[in-house]
Amino acid sequence: MHIFLLVAQIILSFLLVGAILLQAQGSGISPVLGGGGEHYHTRRGIEKVLFGFTIIGIVLFVVLSIANVMVLQ
């Protein structure tokens, strides 16, 4: 069971990294320095689906992490 949870967590982590990298919008460093962000952007189509997958994936990753800790005890 522990091996299955670890493999599932590794696969999910790779999927999350890919989903997060696909969402990068070329904002650069300007928001960090206080610039940028003057426009409002709504998500549509595949961008909205990818955002939803990212949120669900993060929740599943947390659940898998907690399950891994529980199995080890």
Tell me: the pLDDT tens digits for 14-63? 999 999 998 876 555 555 555 555 666 777 888 899 999 999 999 999 99
For the packed helices 46-72 and 2-23, what is the interaxial angle rounded to 10 degrees? 150
Which pLDDT belongs to residue 44? Answer: 82
pTM for this one?
0.75
Domain boundaries, the chain: 1-19+44-73
H helices of 1-73, in order, are 2-23, 46-72
